[in-house]
Structure 1
Amino acid sequence: MKTTLLSVLAAGALAIGLAAPANAEKLVIGTEGAYPPFNFVQTDGTIAGFDVDIGLALCKQIGAECTVVAQDWDGIIPGLLAKKYDMIIASMFITEERKKQVDFSAPYYKAAMTHVVPKDSAITEFTPEALKGKVIGAQSGTTQAEYIQATYPDADIRLYPTQDEVNLDLASGRIDLQGGDMLPMLDWTTKSADGACCKLAGEPITDPKFVGEGVGIAVRKEDGDLRERLNKALDEIRANGTYKTINDKYFPIDVYTMK
Structure 2
Amino acid sequence: MRKLALPLLAWCWLALAVAFPVLADRLVVATEGAYPPFNYHDEQGRLTGFDVDIALALCQAMAAECELVAEEWDRLLDGLEQGRFDLVVASMAKTPARAERADFSDYYYRTHSMFVGLANTYDDAAPDTLNNQRIATGVGTIQADFLQRRYRNSHIMLAPNQEEALARLVEGKVDLVLSDSINLLNFLQSPAGSPFDYVGEPLADGILQAEARIAVAKGRQELLERINQAITTIRLNGSYDHINRRYIPFSVY
Q: TM range, normalised to the smaller chain?
A: over 0.9
**Cα distance in structure 1, aligned partners of 2:60 and 2:119:** 43
User: Is 1:240 paired with 2:232?
Assistant: no
What is residue 171 of structure 1 aligned with on the other side?
170
* Matched residue SS, 2:109: coil
Name the CA distance, whole Å, in 2 between partners of 1:220 and 1:106: 15
User: Does residue 1:17 correspond to 2:13, yes or no?
Assistant: no
Q: Secondary structure at the residue paired with 1:211? A: coil
Residue aligning to 2:40: 40
TM-score by length of 2: 0.92
Counterpart contact for 1:95–1:210, Cα < 8 Å: no
Q: 1:201 is matched with which residue? A: 199
Pairs aligned (count): 245
Greater Cα shift, 16-25 or 178-187 = 16-25
Residue pair 2:39, 2:52 contacting (<8 A) in 1 also: yes
Q: 1:43 Cα deviation (Å)?
A: 2.4
Q: Letter of the 1:219 partner, please give it.
A: V
Cα deviations across residues 183-218 of structure 1 (Å, max 9, x unaligned)? 11111112x111212111211013233215x10000
Evaluate the alpha carbon distance shift between residue 253 and residue 79 of structure 1 in structure 2; reply closer, same or farther with a 3 A threshold.
same
What does 1:24-35 correspond to in 2, within 5 Å? 24-35=24-35
Correspondence 1:91-110 to 2 at 5 A = 91-110=91-110
Residue identity in the other structure for 1:7: K
Deviation, 1:140, is: 0.6
Instruction: Report the AA paired with residue 125 of structure 1.
Output: D
Partners of 1:114 and 1:23 in 2: how far apart?
42
Q: Which residue of 2 aligns with 1:136?
A: 135
| Equivalence map 1:177-188=2 (5 Å) | 177-188=176-187
Q: What are the ranges of 5 or more consecutive residues in structure 2 without an aligned counterpart? A: none
Query: Percent of aligned positions with the same letter in both sequences?
Result: 37
Paired residue type of 1:51: D
Let me know the Cα RMSD of the aligned residues: 1.5
1:225 to 214, 222, 227: 222
Structure 2 partner of 1:8:
4
The answer to whether the 8 A contact 2:125-2:201 is kept is: no
Partners of 1:19 and 1:65 within 8 A in 2? yes
3-state DSSP of counterpart to 1:208:
coil
CA, structure 1 residues 170+60, in 2 after alignment: closer, same or farther (shift >3 Å)? same
Q: What TM-score comes out, normalization by structure 1 length?
A: 0.90
